[in-house]
Structure 1
Amino acid sequence: MDQAADKPDQILPRIRWIRPYLNPALRRIAEFILKNPEMAKSSAIKDLAIACEVSESTITRFVKTVQVPSFQQLKIKIAEELSQKSDGDKAGGERQLVYEDITPEDGTSAILDKISGRYVETVRDTQRGISVHEIDRAVEAIQKCELIAFFALGSSIIAVENALMRFMRVGKQCQFFRDFSVRQISTATLNERSLAIGISNSGRTTTTVESLQQAQQRGATTICITSFADSPITAYADIKLFTPTVTAASGSAAYHESMVSKIAQIHVIDVLYSCFAVKNYDKSIDALERTDVYSTGTRI
């Protein structure tokens, strides 16, 4: 991948981010390293190749893909990051966190810096990692469809609400039902002129996955916005848009419904909306002006 240089500087986040875009052989290597970093940092190239069921030349190609000079340098980088994480874990202890990597010792200024930094990092990682080609395909699907049906649960609904406001204001017909039963029934009304968009950070939300599956069976074009390339929702998505998988710098918050991941989802929605609106500039401006009048309650 020629965009690897634009990914995060640390090697493990970089591998995690480019993983969805790798071919099957390279993806196996990425997944093995992410699951077994301790083993990877001390393995010989031959042993790693056997563990990943690939050739040694494929390991070499993977090293070049993540833009590391050599296999030895790859192991060194992994070892350094594991050491840094270990030091951080020792310093932080086993305490529960209230939000992302916020600790009881953090003052207002530190909390502001940490949360702001996480948001900036998430937006930057989304920009670096998302496929422009897939965005173009998604915008083309939005262009062609007569109806956009959204499916999401929990805090992912925040991204849906943003999408409804954006696309309805520029004249696209949209639908979203909060009620589970109505949501499932609504898939029966979709057809080849419909576009179904499922939003799930984990990609494993049962109702969202099933809705996208049923929409695809009805002939609708399907898009998923998720963080995990190996999640069930990707099996039913014609177009896949991936957001960053890392939700915290260290530790695990007691409140697992991270809002940082929602920033990435909203970011993707805003990019799709903006690309569509620019492609249909005159109609979009006219629709925005009309809906602005209606939203203020003023009659012409």
Structure 2
Amino acid sequence: MNVLQAIRENYRTLTKAERQIADTILQNPRAVLECSISELSQISGVKSEASVVKFYRKIGLTSFQQFKVLLAQELSKAPLEIVYEDITEGDDTITITQKIFKATVRAILDTLDTIDATSLEKATELFLKAKRVFFFGFAASAAVAFDAFHKFSRLGKHCLFSNDEHIMVTLLANAAKDDLVVAISHTGETKSIVALSKKAIEMGIPVVAITGNGKSSLAKLATVVLVTNTKETKIRTDAMTSRIVQLVILDTIYTLLAVKDPSSIENLKKSRLAISELKY
């Protein structure tokens, strides 16, 4: 079990006191290893040890000792000591820059540590078999979906993209079982994305979901789920860093697809040649 990932996945379901405990752990997990249950409650600013008990039970653990052992094992595997730090009003430009860059690196490393390789392989196979690939997303996720639309088109895949609900519905109405829907939603609770994905599943069309919540409505119905691992702070939302991690996940599938499909490299060469004619 990945303790830090479990905390982030359950963060939205925690009470105010439990979130204070979660924030204390996520901000400095190594320091928490030296704490007793009473010390953790004190530095987290909660009233009693009972809040800590409720916290670790909510993330699926049975004892404080189990929590510390699993956390210690997780931290021993960490490739790099970079923590999530919140932005404060007194931070100067250099400090803010360092915190933002480090948070992004941390999100990528955390996702690398928790992403399921089998799910990546399944997603790649679905891309490989798909006659057409539909990329759906709104807001920040729309930017990721458009980037993927452009990227996979260069490999010769027949791709379609939209961040307009009416166009999404129209495209899906004419989709077939040998197509693929890629639904990108950080929360996994965007009503239109969930509804479209559910419709695709009912039509027999597989759905690859890229989301920051492995327990979300989108994740529960998708054929393959790829989960980003990020943390929200007071100023910087977790959607800011999840956008970068979503791009990295799609870059990984893009590369896996290029390796598995010999025609992809030839198509990429053709794309590069065509683009070169548009430049001086």
Give the structure-2-normalised TM-score.
0.73
The alignment status of 1:234 with 2:219, answered yes or no, reads yes
The alignment status of 1:132 with 2:124, answered yes or no, reads no
Q: Deviations over 1:188-232 (max 9, x none)?
A: 111110100100000011111111111112211111111112211
Q: Which residue of 2 aligns with 1:197?
A: 182
The alignment status of 1:15 with 2:6, answered yes or no, reads yes
Deviates more, 1:230-239 or 1:133-142: 230-239
The alignment status of 1:151 with 2:136, answered yes or no, reads yes
The alignment status of 1:39 with 2:19, answered yes or no, reads no
Q: Which residue of 2 aligns with 1:165?
A: 150
- RMSD across aligned positions (CA): 3.0
Tell me which amino acid in the other structure corresponds to 1:296. Answer: S
Larger RCO, structure (CA 8 Å, separation 6 or more): 1
2: CA distance, partners of 1:118 / 1:180: 32
Tell me which amino acid in the other structure corresponds to 2:65. Answer: Q
Three-state SS of the structure 2 residue aligned to 1:190 is: coil
The alignment status of 1:297 with 2:245, answered yes or no, reads no
Q: Which residue of 2 aligns with 1:73?
A: 65
1:247 Cα shift? 2.7
Deviates more, 1:289-298 or 1:266-275: 289-298
2: CA distance, partners of 1:101 / 1:14: 18
**Contact 2:137 / 2:162 at 8 angstroms: preserved in 1?**
no
**Contact 1:213 / 1:236 at 8 angstroms: preserved in 2?**
yes
Q: Evaluate the alpha carbon distance shift between residue 263 and residue 290 of structure 1 in structure 2; reply closer, same or farther with a 3 A threshold.
A: same
2: CA distance, partners of 1:191 / 1:128: 35
Deviates more, 1:34-43 or 1:155-164: 34-43
**Contact 2:127 / 2:180 at 8 angstroms: preserved in 1?**
yes
Gaps of 5+ in 1: 20-29, 53-58, 64-70, 79-99
Q: Paired residue for 1:175, among 133, 153, 160?
A: 160
| Seq. identity, % | 25
Q: Which residue of 1 aligns with 2:79?
A: none
Q: Which residue of 2 aligns with 1:27?
A: none
Q: Which residue of 1 aligns with 2:89?
A: 104
Q: Which residue of 2 aligns with 1:81?
A: none
**Contact 1:159 / 1:265 at 8 angstroms: preserved in 2?**
yes
Q: Deviations over 1:237-291 (max 9, x none)?
A: 011111114233xxx22x75732110111111111111111112x3222111110
1:104 Cα shift? 2.3
Q: Which residue of 2 aligns with 1:285?
A: 265
Q: Evaluate the alpha carbon distance shift between residue 257 and residue 113 of structure 1 in structure 2; reply closer, same or farther with a 3 A threshold.
A: closer
The alignment status of 1:268 with 2:260, answered yes or no, reads no
Q: Evaluate the alpha carbon distance shift between residue 160 and residue 246 of structure 1 in structure 2; reply closer, same or farther with a 3 A threshold.
A: same
1: CA distance, partners of 2:165 / 2:146: 17
Tell me which amino acid in the other structure corresponds to 1:260. Answer: T
Alignment of 1:23-62 (within 5 A): 36=18, 39=50, 41-42=52-53
1:16 Cα shift? 3.0
Give the structure-1-normalised TM-score.
0.69
1: CA distance, partners of 2:181 / 2:12: 33
Q: Paired residue for 1:219, among 178, 184, 204?
A: 204
